């Protein structure tokens, strides 16, 4: 009985507190599904992965922004918050959902790629189209026509623009080197995209 009592005390006073204090570092695939905006995507969240920030968006904006998702490396995001005024913002993945005004009935509706190109040229502040370093190529993401190009500024960027149900979806992945983990994460996010 004495041995059992001593074992219990050692476990409850020494071993259990050490186990309780351990932080489990996990990376969990997290799916963001927004059926109101007809889109879903997956990213690796967690302390050793990425953090998502959803900045508030005004209910009425002249540029039509409906939703913004920003995905950052968790460790870089925490470090940036501590010294934000003294350092560059960390590389990030951004997802913008933007509603387009409806075209008048008397105008022939152009194809989706033309709509995307026109929108990108007219809104370089959202599309980074004026900074493109590659010619836009037509691609398909989950059955939706899109264009893909690269840009260069503070960071290199890979940009996908998709047009679906009257909205433009802008997917941008920032990186420095081709081998950066955030670039692979962005590629996987694009592969995970679902449009409703």
Q: Longest C-alpha distance within the chain, in Å?
A: 92
Beta strands in the chain (DSSP E): 28-34, 39-45, 50-53, 65-73, 92-99, 137-141, 144-152, 156-164, 167-175, 194-195
- pLDDT tens for 18-39 read 555 554 567 899 999 999 999 9
Residues 35-46, mean pLDDT to the nearest whole number = 96
At 83 the pLDDT is 76
- pLDDT tens for 135-167 read 999 999 999 999 999 999 899 999 999 999 999
Provide the β-strand partners of residue 52.
71
Q: What is the pTM of this model?
A: 0.83
At 116 the pLDDT is 92
Q: In the chain, where are the structural domains located?
A: 27-195
- Average of per-residue pLDDT values in the chain: 86
CA distance 158 to 165: 23
- pLDDT tens for 92-131 read 999 999 998 765 555 556 788 998 999 999 999 999 999 9
Q: Looking at domain 27-195, what is its CATH homologous superfamily?
A: Mog1/PsbP, alpha/beta/alpha sandwich (3.40.1000.10)
Ranking 15-19, 60-64, 80-84, 162-166 by mean pLDDT, the lowest is 15-19
Q: Are 170 and 154 in contact (CB under 8 A)?
A: no
At 19 the pLDDT is 52
High-pLDDT (> 90) share of the chain, %: 66
Counting every residue written for the chain, the total comes to 196
The tokens for 113 are: 């790629």
At 110 the pLDDT is 72
At 14 the pLDDT is 61
At 8 the pLDDT is 56
Pairing status of strand 92-99 against strand 194-195:
unpaired
Which residue, 89, 39, 26, 70, is CA-closest to 172?
70
């Amino acid at each position: 009985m004495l041995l059992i009592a001593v074992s219990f005390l050692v476990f409850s006073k020494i071993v259990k507190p050490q186990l309780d204090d351990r932080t489990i570092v996990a990376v969990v695939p997290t799916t963001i599904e927004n059926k109101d905006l007809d889109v879903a995507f997956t990213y690796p969240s967690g302390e050793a992965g990425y953090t998502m920030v959803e900045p508030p968006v005004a209910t009425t904006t002249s540029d039509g922004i409906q939703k913004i998702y920003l995905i950052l490396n968790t460790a870089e995001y925490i470090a940036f918050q501590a010294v934000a005024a003294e350092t560059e913002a960390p590389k990030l993945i951004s997802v913008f959902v933007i509603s387009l005004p409806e075209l008048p009935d008397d105008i022939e509706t152009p194809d989706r790629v033309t709509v995307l190109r026109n929108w990108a040229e007219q809104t370089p502040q959202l599309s980074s189209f004026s900074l493109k370093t590659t010619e836009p190529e037509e691609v398909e993401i989950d059955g939706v026509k899109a264009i893909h190009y690269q840009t260069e500024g503070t960071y290199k960027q890979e940009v996908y623009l998709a047009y679906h149900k009257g909205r433009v979806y802008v997917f941008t992945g920032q990186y420095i080197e081709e081998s950066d983990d955030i670039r692979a994460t962005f590629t996987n996010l694009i592969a995970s995209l679902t449009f409703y």
